[in-house]
Structure formats: structure tokens, C-alpha cells
A and B are shown apart, each in its own frame.
Chain A
Amino acid sequence: HRVESGGGVVQPGGSLRLSCAASGFPFSNYGIHWVRQTPGKGLEWVSFIRYDGAYKFYADSVQGRFTISRDNSKNTLYLQMSGLRAEDTAVYYCARDFSSSGSYPDFWGQGTLVTVSS
């Protein structure tokens, strides 16, 4: 079970932090992704963090603006977003990876909506 939170309306150039609280599986054993979906459109992979937080990867579209992190003691994943743009408006999903170090997302949360607008 994964519950995302932290979404909302933010002005262009602003910041927001998303959280994903996980339960029902050994969180610290799995890599986790953030994937977003623009309203009415397709899926876009955003970021991945390895089970121990030692490796992090980002899509070019968010590199340098977004930071993924995790707190295994709290079973929680984070996405710190800054320099937000209108094109970042989307539903953001956290999704568990099948493995610890990166393969494919297998179970997804229900998502949280981020709207970037003045």
C-alpha cells in the first residue's frame, strides 16, 4: 500500500515536496519510482531511488530541479520539487520497483495532483 501526499496548487517558480508513505511490504528492500501523468495524457517516468538511497536517477526534464530521497526508518519516499513550471502539472505516482536496484514498477500508489499555475 502506498499513499502519496503533498500535492496542491503552486505558482510557477515555486517549490513543493511530495511524500509517499508505504506499508504492507519491507520498504527498505525495494527501489521506488516517481512517475507522473499529465491530465488526459500519458505516463512519464520522473525519478528512481535505490533501496538504500545510494543511487538516484532523474529524467532530463526534471534533472537539477527535483530531488528524490527516502527515509527507510519512516517507510517514506519524498520528491522535492523546485523551479516548478506549468509543464510539471500532473498527477504524481509513487511506484514500487520489482527489485532493490531498478527494473520495472510493479505496484503503484493512487497519485497526488500537482498544479502549477499563477
Chain B
Amino acid sequence: EIVLTQSPGTLSLSPGERATLSCRASQSISSSYLTWYQQKPGQAPRLVIFGASSRAPGIPDRFSGSGSGTDFTLTISRLEPEDFAMYYCHQYGRSLWTFGQGTKVEIK
């Protein structure tokens, strides 16, 4: 089973700052099946990035994804108040789907 490890656990930033979230896989994975989700308290997760670097419909262009192999990054270029939330990376492979443990982006 592929394990996804996200870092940091919590990111404390101010609106307007840049957020860089990391997701590391225990073995190489296909970029096609690396996704990122945003979740706010009391809400269902929302797809943000698919295929490691493609924005989901309706996601603002301040969100970007990059990476390949075992190391992936979600970047939010300038944090808006609505961006403070939990973020999870996710991968699919060999008929198993796994999530990272999440990174909380909180207001400093």
C-alpha cells in the first residue's frame, strides 16, 4: 500500500502570503492520479487539483499543483480568507485509493 505523507501538519500564514504544501509518496506514483482536496469545517471535501497540476473547474488560478514521482506540491500564491482550510492529497493505484493525513492552513 502506498502511503502519502503530508507536511507540514499545520501552516500558519496571513492573508496575501504564499502557501506551499507538500505530499510525499512512499513509492513512485502516476501523476495522472494525484489529486488535492480542500475541506472546510462541516463541509464535504472539494476537488482542487487533479492529474497533479490541473485545476478543477471553478478553482481560482492562485492554486497550482506540481511534482512527479514521489514528491508533489500544492501552492496557493496569495492566500484569500476563504482558502484557510484543510488540504488532503490523494492517489489511486492498483485498485487502492489512499489519502494523506492532511495539512491545515490556518490564519496566523
Q: Which A residues are CB-close (under 8 A) to B43?
A: 110
Chain B 31-51 against A: per-residue CB contact (8 Å), 1 yes, 0 no?
Answer: 011010101000111110010
- Interface stretch, picked from A18-26, A39-47, A68-76, A80-88, is A39-47
Contact yes or no, B45 A108, CB < 8 A:
yes
Contact yes or no, B33 A45, CB < 8 A:
no
Instruction: Check: B88 CB closer than 8 A to any chain A CB.
Output: yes
Query: 11 A-B Cβ contacts within 8 A?
Result: A33-B97, A35-B45, A42-B102, A43-B88, A57-B95, A93-B45, A95-B45, A103-B32, A103-B92, A105-B90, A106-B50
Give B contacts to A, CB under 8 Å.
1, 32-33, 35, 37, 39, 43-47, 50, 56, 88, 90, 92, 95-102
